[in-house]
Structure 1
Amino acid sequence: MATGSLTEFTRFGYGPAPGDRVEGTGVDPDRLLAQLSLPAPEREDGLADRLALLADQEREKQAMKAGGPKTDVAIKQLRQRAAADVQAYLWDPVLSDAGFAERLVNFWANRLTVAWRRGPVEFLMGPYRDEAIRPHIGGRFADMLAASAWHPAMMVYLDQAASVGPNSPFGQKQRKGLNENYAREFLELHTMGGVGYSQTDVTELARLFAGMRYDEEGARFDSARSEPGEKIILGQTYLNGPDEIARLVETVALRPETAESVALALARHFIADVPPADLVAGLAAAYLAGGSDLRPVYQVLLSHPSAADPGRWKVRSPHEYLAASLRALGVTPDIAGGRKVKLALSEALRTMGQQPLRAPGPDGWPEMAEGWVTAPYLAARLAWAETLAQKLGEGALPADLARFVLGDGTEGPEADTIRAASRAEQRWEGVAVLLGAPVFQRR
C-alpha cells in the first residue's frame, strides 16, 4: 500500500491501486524521492547466469556440429529466462508501491535503449535493466552511462562487440574494421542529443571504443582488438584502454549538451510534450551543478509548479495505460492468468504499438503523443478496455472506481467520465467507459 496525492500517483507513477491512500493535493518531492531507496524487485538470476547459459548453448551447438547428440537444454533455459523478463516488464509497475521509481527505470531504459533484434540480446534484456539501469536511477547519470556501455546487451545490440581496430593485431590478421553504431548512438541518443559534435568525433570515438567486448566471464577490454594511437574526441586527446574510455564517458556525461538533452527528455516524459523552458533550464543547471547526480535533478522536477498542475498533459504509453488499468482493478498475476480470465497482456501491448522489450530502434519508444495516437492503436486500447472490463469489471462500482482514479471533481473531463460510467446499464460497461475514456488514457 502506498500513500500520495492523485497527481503523484498519476503523473509520477502508474495510477492508484486498491488499498492505496490517495490524499492531499500537489506533489511531495521527499515522499517520491524516498521510493528510490526501496528494495528492488527480486529476480531468480542475473547477468552471470545468462552468460554461463549462453556459453553452454554455444558448447552444445559445437558438440552437435561435431556429430554429438542433439541437445537443447541451454536454449530452453534461456527462453524461460527471457519469458520471465517479459513478465517482470509487464508486472513490476503493476505490483510495486514505488511507482515513481518504476517510471524512472523505464524512462532510463528507454533513453539507453536495448531491444530484441538479433543474437543473444533477447536473453540479456532483464539483466540489462536490472544491473545497468535500475541501480543507478538515484545515482549519477555518468555511472549509469558507463554501466550501459560495458553491458553485453548494449555491446551486442549496437554492434560494439563486433567493432575492431583496423590497425590492431586482430584487425590486421582478420581484416576486420570499425563499427560506428554504438559510438554514433552514444553521442546522438545517449548523451549530447545530436548537437556539438562531428562525424570525425564519431569515428574517433569508435576507434577509442574498439576492444570493448565480453565473454563468459563478463565485459572486458581486448587490447589485441584496440586501435593503436591517439584519438582526438571533442577537442580532447585519448589513448587506449578502459581507463581512457572511463574518462571519455565521464567527460561527455558532464558536457552542457548532455545536461540539456537529459533535462529536456525528463521534462518531456513527466510533464508535457512541449515542457516549460524554465523547467528544462533548471533541470540542466541542477544536473551540471551535481556532476550528473540525478536526485537534485528530480528535486527540481518535482518542485516545479508544472509538476503539481492537476491537468493531464501527457498521453500514457501503452505500457503505462495497461499498468494503470490493471492497478485500478487490483489485478494480480494469479488473477490475470486464471482459467476464466487469461489476459493476454503481451498481445494487448503489441496491438497498441508497444510489444514488450522490442523497441523499434535505438531511439526507443515515442515520448510524444503523435507516436501513440493513431486510429489502430486507439482502437486497440478500446478493445483492451472492453476485454478487461468484461472479464473483471462486474464486481466494481463504476462511479466509485472512477472517482478513485480520476478524483471527485464536479466539472471537466474527469467529472464527465464519472457521470458516464455511473449511467451504464451494467457494471462492466461502466468500467469499460472509464478505462476507454480519453482522460484515463492521459496522465
Structure 2
Amino acid sequence: MTLQAVLAANRFGLGARPGEITDIGRDPREWLMRQVERDVAVPQVIRALPSSAQAFEAYRELQEMRREARAEPASDNKERDPVANVRQKLAPLYLDQVAARYQVAVASTDPFRERLVHFWSNHFAVSADKALVAGLAGTLENEAIRPHLSGSFAELLLAAESHPAMILYLDNQGSIGPNSMLAQRASRRARKAERKLDINENLAREILELHTLGVNGGYTQADVTSFARVLTGWSVGGSRGPLAEGKPGVFEFRENMHEPGAQTVVGKRYSESGGAQAKAVLNDLARHPATANHVATKLVRHFVADEPPLAAVDHVAKVFRDTNGDLPSVHRAVIELPQAWEAAPRKFKTPHEFVISSFRALDFVPDKPLQIAAPFQLLGQRPYTPGSPAGWPDTAAQWDGPDALLKRIEWATQLSDRLRSRAKPLDIAAQSLGEALNERTRTAISRAASAAQGTTLLLASPEFMRR
C-alpha cells in the first residue's frame, strides 16, 4: 500500500473502503484518471427517485390543498390548515434524495467522480430550507450535475442555471421585464393595488459572483442589472393564473415576461432575442478568463489547501482556458498538480466528508433515510441546506472548533458502539489509512480497552480527521 494510493483514496476520493487502497495499486493517478475520462451512468438508486417535475407537482398540490383549506370556514371538528407545514409534508422526498446520495457515496467504486459531483453541487448551491425547494434540492445534483461531468463547463453552467431548483431558489420565476408584454398589459390595466412588475437580480448576481467570474471578476452593478433583464422569462412551468402554461416543474421560457431589446453585459452587447440571449451570455461567461481563475481557485482550495498555491491555480486555470472549460481536462489538471500529492494532510474534513469516510471505512450505511441524515445534522452540515447561495465553507476555520470536534467524537463513539462486532480496529485502520497511520495512533488503538473504543480512537485521530 503506497502512500500515494492512500492519498488517492482519501484526498481525491471519499475515504478508503476495505480493499480499496490495494485495488488502486501502484498507479493511483491512472486510477483517478479513469474515473473522469469516461461517461458513467447515473446510479440506479438515483434514477429511481422522483424527478424535479414530480417533486414540484407534489409541492403544487400541497399548496393548492392549503389554499382550499384556508378558504373554507373553520369548525370545531376540522383542522384549520391541514397542510400548513409544506416543508414537513415534503420531508419524505428530501430524505429519499439524501439517503440515495449517501448510499451511492458509501458504495461507490468511482469515489473521485462522486466527490466531484458533490463539489459541483456545492458550487451551484441551492437550499432545501426554502419550502419551494424542499423536494428539489437533490434533483439539481442528479439532473444537472451528474450527467454533465464529462462535458464542458458551459454545458454544466447552462444545465444548473436553467434547472427548476435554481430558478425557484433565486426567485427568477417572478422576474419580469418592465417593458415586457406582460408588464405593458398590467400597466394598461393600471390597477394601483397590483404589485409592481420588475426584474429580480438574484439569479444574475449569483451567476456572476459565485458561479462564473467571482466576486473580483470585473463585473459591475450595471452588469448585474443588465444580465437580470436578459434572464427575465427564465421560469418554471405550472404556475397559477396567466403563468399556468408549460409542464409543471420543468424549465419554461416565458416570452411575454422577457425584457425586449439588446443588453450589454461585461462589456459585450447581446442583441439576440428571447431565450437565446441568456444562453449567449452564459456561453461567454463560461469561457471568460476570470471564470477560469475563479473555478481553478475553488478546485485547488478543495483538493490542495485552504490557501490555494498560486502556481497550482495558474496551471488549472490555463488548462481551463486552453480547453474552453472541458471538465475532464480540468479535473485531470488537478490530478497532475504536484502540490496535491504532498504527504502532509492540509485539508480538514468537513462533517460531510467525515461521515462519508467513516461509513466507507466501516463498510456501513444505516438502513433508514432519517438515520442516514441524522449525523450530518448533528455535526452541522445538514444535506442540501447551505446557509447561502455560496454553498458550504471549504476551509478548516469553519469546522474545527472545540464544540464541533466534541460532537464528532460523540458520534464516532455511538457509531463504534453500534458496530462493535465488525472488523478489528487495527485492521480497519490499515485498510483506511495504510502508511498514513501514525505510530502513536496505532499504539493507542492497540491498547484500547475494547474494539469499540479502538474504532473511536481511529475515527477521532488527526490522520482520519484530515485528508
- For 1:394-405, list aligned pairs within 5 A: 394-405=421-432
CA distance in 2, matches of 1:24, 1:41: 22
CA positional deviation for 1:323: 0.7
> Residues 350 and 24 from structure 1, CA distance in 2 versus in 1: closer, same or farther, beyond 3 angstroms?
closer
Q: Aligned residue for 1:355?
A: 382
Q: Say which is worse superposed, 159-168 or 170-179, in terms of deviation.
A: 170-179
CA distance in 2, matches of 1:247, 1:100: 32
Q: Aligned residue for 2:299?
A: 266
Letter in 2 for 1:49: Q
CA distance in 1, matches of 2:349, 2:306: 12
Letter in 2 for 1:15: G
> Residues 23 and 132 from structure 1, CA distance in 2 versus in 1: closer, same or farther, beyond 3 angstroms?
closer
Letter in 1 for 2:7: T
Report whether the alignment pairs 1:51 with 2:56.
Answer: yes
| Contact preservation (8 Å) 1:385, 1:436 | yes
The equivalent position to 1:321 in structure 2, one of 350, 354, 358, is: 354
Aligned length: 430
Tell me the SS of whatever aligns to 1:123.
coil
CA distance in 1, matches of 2:459, 2:252: 48
Report whether the alignment pairs 1:251 with 2:284.
Answer: yes
CA distance in 2, matches of 1:77, 1:40: 27
Tell me the SS of whatever aligns to 2:219.
coil
Using structure 1 for the length normalisation, give the TM-score. Answer: 0.90
Letter in 2 for 1:276: P
CA distance in 1, matches of 2:99, 2:431: 27
CA distance in 1, matches of 2:28, 2:418: 36
Q: Say which is worse superposed, 79-88 or 167-176, in terms of deviation.
A: 167-176
CA distance in 1, matches of 2:293, 2:26: 26
| Contact preservation (8 Å) 1:389, 1:428 | yes
CA positional deviation for 1:62: 5.0
CA distance in 1, matches of 2:399, 2:319: 31
CA distance in 1, matches of 2:82, 2:390: 38
| Contact preservation (8 Å) 2:19, 2:431 | no
Letter in 2 for 1:52: E
Report whether the alignment pairs 1:103 with 2:115.
Answer: yes
> Residues 441 and 343 from structure 1, CA distance in 2 versus in 1: closer, same or farther, beyond 3 angstroms?
farther
Q: Say which is worse superposed, 215-224 or 432-441, in terms of deviation.
A: 215-224
- For 1:297-376, list aligned pairs within 5 A: 297-334=330-367, 337=368, 344-376=371-403
| Contact preservation (8 Å) 2:138, 2:384 | no
CA distance in 2, matches of 1:99, 1:127: 20
Letter in 1 for 2:465: Q
Q: Say which is worse superposed, 127-136 or 26-35, in terms of deviation.
A: 26-35
The equivalent position to 1:211 in structure 2, one of 229, 233, 249, is: 233
> Residues 27 and 299 from structure 1, CA distance in 2 versus in 1: closer, same or farther, beyond 3 angstroms?
farther
Q: Aligned residue for 1:238?
A: 270
CA distance in 2, matches of 1:26, 1:420: 30
Q: Aligned residue for 1:192?
A: 213
| Contact preservation (8 Å) 1:119, 1:156 | no
Report whether the alignment pairs 1:417 with 2:422.
Answer: no
Letter in 1 for 2:351: P
CA positional deviation for 1:57: 3.4
Report whether the alignment pairs 1:229 with 2:253.
Answer: no
Q: Aligned residue for 1:28?
A: 28
Letter in 2 for 1:41: P
Q: Aligned residue for 1:181?
A: 202
CA distance in 1, matches of 2:26, 2:393: 27
CA positional deviation for 1:296: 0.9
CA distance in 2, matches of 1:121, 1:403: 42
Tell me the SS of whatever aligns to 2:276.
helix
Tell me the SS of whatever aligns to 1:164.
coil
| Contact preservation (8 Å) 2:24, 2:31 | no
Q: Aligned residue for 1:435?
A: 459
CA distance in 2, matches of 1:320, 1:27: 24
> Residues 189 and 27 from structure 1, CA distance in 2 versus in 1: closer, same or farther, beyond 3 angstroms?
farther
CA positional deviation for 1:103: 0.4
The equivalent position to 1:130 in structure 2, one of 114, 117, 142, is: 142
CA positional deviation for 1:374: 1.1
CA distance in 2, matches of 1:71, 1:377: 38
Deviation readout 1:83-122 (Å, 9 max, x if unpaired):
2012123332112111111100110010111112323201
Deviation readout 1:323-364 (Å, 9 max, x if unpaired):
111111111334xx5xxxx99443322232211111111111
Tell me the SS of whatever aligns to 2:252.
strand
> Residues 436 and 179 from structure 1, CA distance in 2 versus in 1: closer, same or farther, beyond 3 angstroms?
same
Tell me the SS of whatever aligns to 1:362.
coil
> Residues 343 and 362 from structure 1, CA distance in 2 versus in 1: closer, same or farther, beyond 3 angstroms?
closer
| Contact preservation (8 Å) 2:214, 2:290 | yes
CA distance in 1, matches of 2:450, 2:220: 62
CA positional deviation for 1:228: 2.3
Q: Which structure 2 residue ranges, 5 or more long, are not aligned?
A: 187-193, 239-246
Q: Say which is worse superposed, 201-210 or 61-70, in terms of deviation.
A: 61-70
Identity of matched residues, %:
34
Tell me the SS of whatever aligns to 1:360.
coil
CA distance in 2, matches of 1:142, 1:210: 20
| Contact preservation (8 Å) 1:117, 1:157 | no
| Contact preservation (8 Å) 1:27, 1:308 | no
CA distance in 1, matches of 2:308, 2:101: 27
| Contact preservation (8 Å) 1:89, 1:356 | no
CA positional deviation for 1:125: 1.3
Deviation readout 1:132-180 (Å, 9 max, x if unpaired):
1111122111111111111110011111112111222323415211111
Q: Aligned residue for 2:101?
A: 89
> Residues 357 and 202 from structure 1, CA distance in 2 versus in 1: closer, same or farther, beyond 3 angstroms?
same
Tell me the SS of whatever aligns to 2:438.
helix
The equivalent position to 1:162 in structure 2, one of 171, 174, 187, is: 174
Root mean square deviation of aligned Cα: 2.4
Using structure 2 for the length normalisation, give the TM-score. Answer: 0.86
